[in-house]
């Protein structure tokens, strides 16, 4: 009697979470305040306000925007606030910081919508390989959210996992 191939991974009851599925697909755009500075160092209020008034803000429609200054210049806080006020209602999400900080914030926002009790007493694998870079911050956050609820938490692929947590 010949038996067919049995997929033990599929029959194991393991839930695989791919963090790439939580990453907002919108494009990422940086606004470098350096480009608005006189000689790359000095913010002139009148010139800056003219830039704010004439800048094409529609290019940020539904995008995820990180605001930063790559110059070693003192930029008043209100300048960043003005940029934020123009992005409000246009950009999907924006923050002051790097592109990595933007991606981390987007993950935190998306992961905060997870209902951890849906994973109560389940065996969960957090997918470890993918096409996009996922910061360690997202992996730490999903661990923080799920560990109090799951039976076990693993990293990798269902066929080859690294145990992270197992309920005693």
Same domain, 121 and 141: yes
| pLDDT score, position 61 | 97
Considering the domain architecture, whether residues 85 and 33 belong to the same structural domain is answered as yes
* Token duo for residue 102: 């933007």
User: Do 18 and 37 share a structural domain?
Assistant: no
Q: Please tell me the predicted confidence (pLDDT) of residue 1.
A: 55
* Order of strands, sheet of 64-68, starting from the edge strand that comes earlier in the sequence: 28-32, 64-68, 93-96
pLDDT at position 9 = 47
For residue 95, the model assigns a pLDDT of 98
Is residue 133 in a domain?
Answer: yes
Residue numbers of the domain that contains 123: 14-22+115-166
Are residues 34 and 75 both part of a single domain? yes
Is 107 part of any domain? no
Can you give the pLDDT at residue 7? Answer: 47
Same domain, 84 and 139: no
Looking at the domain assignment, is residue 45 inside a domain?
yes
What was the pLDDT predicted at 143?
97
Residues 82 and 32 in one domain: yes
Q: List the chain pLDDT tens, one digit each, 168 residues.
A: 556 654 454 546 899 999 999 988 889 999 999 999 999 899 999 999 999 999 999 999 999 999 999 999 999 999 999 999 999 999 999 999 999 999 999 999 999 999 999 999 999 999 988 888 888 999 999 999 999 999 999 999 888 899 999 998
7 within domain boundaries:
no
**Number of domains making up the chain:** 2
Q: Are residues 18 and 32 in the same domain?
A: no
Q: For all residues of the chain together, what is the average pLDDT?
A: 91
What pLDDT, on a 0 to 100 scale, did the predictor assign at position 155?
96
Contact 83, 31 (CB under 8 A): yes
Residue 108 within a domain: no
103 inside domain: no
Per-residue buried b or exposed e for 124-163, using 16+ beta carbons within 10 Å of the residue's own CB = bbbbbeeeeebeebbbebbeebbbebbebbbbbebeebee
């Amino acid at each position: 009697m010949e038996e067919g191939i049995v997929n033990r991974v599929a029959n194991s009851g393991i839930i695989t979470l791919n963090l790439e599925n939580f990453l907002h697909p919108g494009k990422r755009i940086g606004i470098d305040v350096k480009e608005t500075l006189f000689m790359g160092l000095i913010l002139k209020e009148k010139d800056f306000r003219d830039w704010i008034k004439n800048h094409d803000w529609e290019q940020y429609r539904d995008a995820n925007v990180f605001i930063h200054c790559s110059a070693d210049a003192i930029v008043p806080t209100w300048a960043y606030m003005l940029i934020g006020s123009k992005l409000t209602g246009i950009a999907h999400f924006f923050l002051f910081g790097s592109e990595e900080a933007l991606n981390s914030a987007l993950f935190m926002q998306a992961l905060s919508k997870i209902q951890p009790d849906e994973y109560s007493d389940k065996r969960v694998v957090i997918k470890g390989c993918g096409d996009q870079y996922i910061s360690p911050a997202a992996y730490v956050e999903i661990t923080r959210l799920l560990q109090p609820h799951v039976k076990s938490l693993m990293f990798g692929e269902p066929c080859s996992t690294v145990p992270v947590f197992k309920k005693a």
